[in-house]
Every structure is written in structure tokens, then in C-alpha cells.
Amino acid sequence: MNRQNRWNAALIFAGIFGIFVSGYITFVIGEEKKEIPDHAGFQSCQPCHSEKHNMWEASNHGKAIRRTAQNNPAATECSGCHSAKRPEAGQQTAAVGGDRKDSVHKVSCLACHARQKTEYSRRVVVDPDKICESCHTQRSIFWGYGAKGIEDSRNFHSGVPCIGCHMTEGNHRMKVLRPDDPSLTEKRLDTCTACHKDNNREARVHQIQEWQSTYDENMAPLLADVKTIEEALKKNPGVLDASLKAKLEDVKANLTLLEKDGSRGFHNFVFSLEIASLAGGDLKEIKAAVK
């Protein structure tokens, strides 16, 4: 074989080899793409994390937009919390509408966990101590601040992270396992006993029930008084002077803090008592003025 023929043969061989390598790489990459979840949506988390997915699906996070629609049908700024692209979506203020509704119907896995590794454990997207409060507003009661006319008042639970109580056993229902929950077995730790190992379940049940019954007993007459005063003001708007009007607004703001907290005193029982006590005194004075 002369030099030209050898050169032609080498070129042909190189071409065939290149085609083979190219095809093999394409095949391998194609296979890898099929095997690796794209994580473009939270549905791709389910095959590997089915247990957590089932807990999440049963949680309030799994049906969040339905609760929002029931509580405030006019709400449009939903993407901050209800998007699969959160927290990036938290920077947006676009209204939810049309085709976007499907992408914001739930607080998905990707609202809290990143697709790739982050500086935080379990690929949490932001500081775990702050991730809950980026959507939830209970921090003010929990830490005992923000009430008008009342000094800041932390309690012994104020230093506990949200997940310390709401993710007992790592559960993604985000549900506190109350010691009086009838579905709990004797061997299973409730949320309180998981931390307070020196206390028994019966003592914790009594404490929680006492806190929440006291809260209910305090709040019911206060809310009724506010309603009575507002009805009286509709008939005679000028009956209160500026000082009493300011007190009424402060009372309403403080009671709204407690109602939005939703824990019925559990997050900060002492703080809730202080708010109720101040409100009771102010409302008594205001009621006397509107009679």
C-alpha cells in the first residue's frame, strides 16, 4: 500500500472511530438524562421521597392555596409563598391569574429545598431559622414583641426553632404532635415529651389545656366588646375623643396579633395574658364612654 492509500485508510478509520465515539457519548448522556430527575417540578421528588411526599400532601402546605382562597378570595399576591420557584418568587409581586394558577397551588418541596446542594443541611434554600418566618407571621408573638403599649416579653420557648415543634420526628405534615392526641401510641414521643424528657405526658396535657382554655376565656369577651363598641360608633362616630380612639386602635391591633398567631396562647402564654389584660382595661374605659 502506497503512502496515499495509507493516508486515505487512516482518514476513513478516524472518521468511523469519531462517529462511534460521538454516538456512544450521545447514548450515555441520553441515558443519564433519563435516569436523573430533572427536578423542574416538585412532582419529581415523589419517587425517591414517597413517605415525606405523602406527609406533605396531607399537610396544610399541600393544600395551601385552597385555604388562601377560602380565607380571602380577593387575594392576588400569592406567588411569594405558594410557588414552586420560591424563594425567588418571593421577590415578585405579579398577580396570580390564568395559566399561572397551576404553578402556585401548593407550597411545594422546592419552596424550602433547593435542587442542588446549599450551605445549609438538607439543601434548605435559606437559613433554617428564617425560612418559616418568610411566610409565617407568628414570630412577633413567639418572641414577645410588636404589641402596642406592652414591653417585649420572651418566654422559655422563644429560643426554640419552629421545626423543633412542628417537625417532630422529621414529619413533613408540620404538625405538632400534641400529648393529648388520641392517635399517638404510648411508645411514640409527642412533641412536648420529645424535649421535656423529665416531664410526663399527663402533666403536659394539663398545661396545654389550661393555657388554651384560659386564652379562649379571655379572648371571647374582649372580641365581643370590640364588636359592641364598633356598632355603637356606627350610630355615633364622634362619641370618642382622640385618646380613646387611639386606645381602641391599639386594642384591635393587639388582638389581631393574637388571632393571626393561631396558637391560642401556646406560642407565648405570658405575652398573650399581658395583651388580654391591657385590652380588658382599655375596653372597659372605652365602653363607659360610648354608653
Output the furthest CA–CA distance in the chain (Å, rounded). 119
CATH number of the domain within which 250 lies = 1.20.140
Task: State the amino acid at position 40 in one-letter form.
Answer: A
CB 184 within 8 A of CB 177: yes
User: Residue 23: inside a domain, yes or no?
Assistant: no
Indicate if 127 and 164 belong to the same structural domain: no
CB 139 within 8 A of CB 93: no
> Which range among 128-132, 195-199, 220-224, 276-280 shows the weakest confidence by mean pLDDT?
195-199
Chain-centroid distance of CA 17 in Å reads: 56
> What are the backbone dihedrals phi and psi of residue 170, each rounded to the nearest 5 degrees, phi first?
70, 20
Place of cell 414583641: 145
pLDDT of 111 over the 60 cut:
yes
Domain of 216? 140-145+157-290
User: Residue 179: inside a domain, yes or no?
Assistant: yes
pLDDT in tens, 162-216: 888 888 888 888 888 888 888 887 777 788 888 887 767 888 889 899 999 999 9
Q: What whole-number distance in Å separates Cα of residue 110 and Cα of residue 64?
A: 14
Place of cell 399517638: 184
pLDDT of 67 over the 90 cut:
no
Indicate if 184 and 251 belong to the same structural domain: yes
Indicate if 53 and 168 belong to the same structural domain: no
Indicate if 122 and 180 belong to the same structural domain: no
Cα dihedral 248, 254, 256, 258 in deg (nearest 10): -150
User: Residue 150: inside a domain, yes or no?
Assistant: no
CB 83 within 8 A of CB 111: yes
pLDDT in tens, 13-65: 555 555 554 555 454 444 444 344 444 456 678 888 888 888 888 888 887 65
Q: Return the CA Rg of the chain.
A: 29
Chain-centroid distance of CA 273 in Å reads: 25
Indicate if 116 and 168 belong to the same structural domain: no
User: Residue 11: inside a domain, yes or no?
Assistant: no
